[in-house]
Structure 1
Amino acid sequence: MFRLAHISDIHLGPLPSLTYRELASKRITGYVNWRRNRRHHIQNGVTDALLAGMAAADIDHIAVTGDLVNLALDAEIEVAREWLVSLGTPETVSVVPGNHDAYVPGALAKSCRAWRPWMKGEVTHVGSSEYGYPYLRVREDIALVGVSSARATGPFMALGHFGEKQARRLGKLLDIAGEGGLFRVIMIHHPPVRGATTAHKRLYGIGLFQETVRRHGAELVLHGHTHLPTLHWIDGTRDKVPVVGVTAAGQGAGGHKPPAQYNLFEIAQAGKDWSVTLTRRGVSGAALSVKDIETVDLRVRPQLAAT
């Protein structure tokens, strides 16, 4: 059995000091939002408690689906790199970026360069973007496929993007993993499901993403962005594919979103199918103890490439 943990939207704080030059951009709106709202609900102590609970759960691998930082300042990106070192080695942790990691033009390149060891895939000769996406990592009989939806956007926007080039490359990686009989997990920040979030935060390319899954197959899709513990389904090549979101790993109590959680997937072959159990685990009470919230059986049929 393979035990995969999924966390997202850490939003490491507090914010470092900003210069006037740094504020003369979209960052001014993000800074105001942090001061008025986010800093009151995103709490590093909550993240620490959540990770302590994960450490006691005998995890084989951790999938991090973006938004490690807030405004993608150079100092934040470096703090996030140090945080990844503490979280685990590149062998045991895989990362994709979120919109906050690409907050302003040029930030995504800096984030991906700093966090490259946790984003570097196998040599496949499929090709990738300048930032290294999509990538394929194989751990036992699990294929982790990292997709980037992150891009810099204008003020008050948090849109994602999934385009034709990445779709073609993703399809090839899914085929490679499928031919190897692997359980394929796609990691992406924005939810690839219509209606999962508001228009100014949605993913452009949802239809293209779903068509790629329908044609090439996948067994599980993980995302962040919404700060909600959600479960959707999209069509695969043979059956429905679960699309699972998670509460922000830094979310404290008292907000309109649930406190910090992580998803624990226990994946094993069950005859010709895969046995997949999802347990949502989250912080609870003043002591921030980590407890099971719900358990869902997600038995999955292997998806075949379309002919």
Structure 2
Amino acid sequence: MFRLAHISDIHLGPLPALSVLELASKRITGFVNWHRNRRRHMFANTLDLITEDIERRDPDHLAITGDLVNLAAKIEIDTVARWLAVVGKPENVSVVPGNHDAYVPGAYERSTESWYPYMRGDDAPKGWTEDRHVFPYMRVRDYVALIGCSTAVATPPFAASGYFGRRQARETVNLLRAAGEAGLFRVVMIHHPPIHGATSFHKRMIGIRRFAAAISAGGAELVLHGHTHLNTVHWLKSPAAPVPVVGISSASQGPGGHKPPAGYNIFSISGGPGRWNMMRERYEIDQFGTDIVLAETTRFSTAE
């Protein structure tokens, strides 16, 4: 049995002191939003409780689906790189970026370069190069293929949309088909929910139909996403069986807010092609913010 943990929307805090030059951009809107809203509900100790509980359960791999920073300042990106080194080794942790990781022009490149060991496909060069596409990437761990896609792009103020383009769709199909032919359980990681109506218009993913077509053409067994800070399950069509599309709450969200408290999923995967079985255990922080409890258990099957 392969056990895959999933967290998202880390928003690693606290927010660092930024210069006037750094705030002279879209960052000023995020800075104000943090101090008006997120600062009251995003707590570092919450994230610590989540990651410590995951470590105690000792899954085989950890997937992180974006928004590791808040305003994508260099000091934040560097801090996340150090945090990732504590969370796990690059071969045991897979990351895809979110819109906050590409908050302003140039941030996407800085984030990708800094966190590249956690985003590098098995066949990709060990060194990061700016003139090369990182996404989609594929990592094979035991009988599970982890395919990382990116929707992270810099957007104007008050927008948090993502983009999934033609090149990435085409290459994602190729990876999915190759993994399927190898008899692997295929997990696609992406930040924005690839589902119509899953989020508001200004936070949507542009290219939802393109992504759905890639899943339909290539096949998959599971899609993981973040962005909404909600615990959700949707479905996409694929050649063999409907594919569960699972979202998770922010890993830093304290209790008592208007969004669900911080949590994570562990997927226990067994079986084989045409007879895969998967159980999802969703854990979340309790109402007092002091302990992690089992909130939900769901069983999925792709038996034909």
Please indicate the TM-score interval, normalised by the length of the shorter structure. Answer: over 0.9
Residue 212 of structure 2 aligns to a residue in which SS?
helix
Residue 16 of structure 1 aligns to a residue in which SS?
coil
1:154-192 per-residue CA deviation (whole Å, 9 max, x = no partner) reads: 000000000100001111111111110000000000000
The CA RMSD over aligned residues, in Å, is 1.5
- C-alpha separation between the residues in 2 aligned to 1:36 and 1:145? 36
Q: How does 1:214-225 map to 2 (within 5 A)?
A: 214-225=216-227
- C-alpha separation between the residues in 2 aligned to 1:301 and 1:74? 47
Q: Contact 1:238 / 1:301 at 8 angstroms: preserved in 2?
A: no
1:176 aligns with 2:178: yes
1:274 to partner: Cα distance: 0.6
**TM-score between both structures, scaled by the size of structure 1:** 0.95
Q: Contact 1:219 / 1:301 at 8 angstroms: preserved in 2?
A: no
Count of residues in Structure 1 that have an aligned counterpart in Structure 2: 300
Show the counterpart of 2:119. Answer: 119
Show the counterpart of 1:96. Answer: 96
- C-alpha separation between the residues in 1 aligned to 2:70 and 2:30? 8
1:44 to partner: Cα distance: 0.7
Q: How does 1:16-55 map to 2 (within 5 A)?
A: 16-55=16-55
Runs of 5+ in structure 1 lacking a partner?
Answer: 303-307
**TM-score between both structures, scaled by the size of structure 2:** 0.96
Distance 1:131 1:83, change over 3 A: farther
Show the counterpart of 1:189. Answer: 191
Distance 1:301 1:200, change over 3 A: farther
1:298 to partner: Cα distance: 1.1
**Which stretch has the larger CA shift, 171-180 or 67-76?**
171-180
Show the counterpart of 2:292. Answer: 290
1:213 to partner: Cα distance: 0.5
- C-alpha separation between the residues in 2 aligned to 1:218 and 1:270? 13
- C-alpha separation between the residues in 1 aligned to 2:115 and 2:204? 25
Q: Contact 1:8 / 1:66 at 8 angstroms: preserved in 2?
A: yes
1:73 to partner: Cα distance: 0.3
Q: Contact 1:6 / 1:64 at 8 angstroms: preserved in 2?
A: yes
One-letter amino acid of the counterpart of residue 78, structure 2: E
1:254 to partner: Cα distance: 1.5
Once superposed, which parts of structure 1, at least 4 consecutive aligned residues long, lie more than 6 Å away? Answer: none
Q: How does 1:1-307 map to 2 (within 5 A)?
A: 1-123=1-123, 130-269=132-271, 272-286=274-288, 288-301=290-303
Residue 191 of structure 1 aligns to a residue in which SS?
coil
One-letter amino acid of the counterpart of residue 291, structure 2: S
Q: Between the two proteins, what is the percent identity of the paired residues?
A: 53
Show the counterpart of 1:305. Answer: none
Residue 37 of structure 2 aligns to a residue in which SS?
helix
Runs of 5+ in structure 2 lacking a partner?
Answer: none
1:285 to partner: Cα distance: 3.6
Q: Contact 1:282 / 1:292 at 8 angstroms: preserved in 2?
A: yes
- C-alpha separation between the residues in 2 aligned to 1:130 and 1:72? 21
One-letter amino acid of the counterpart of residue 236, structure 1: S
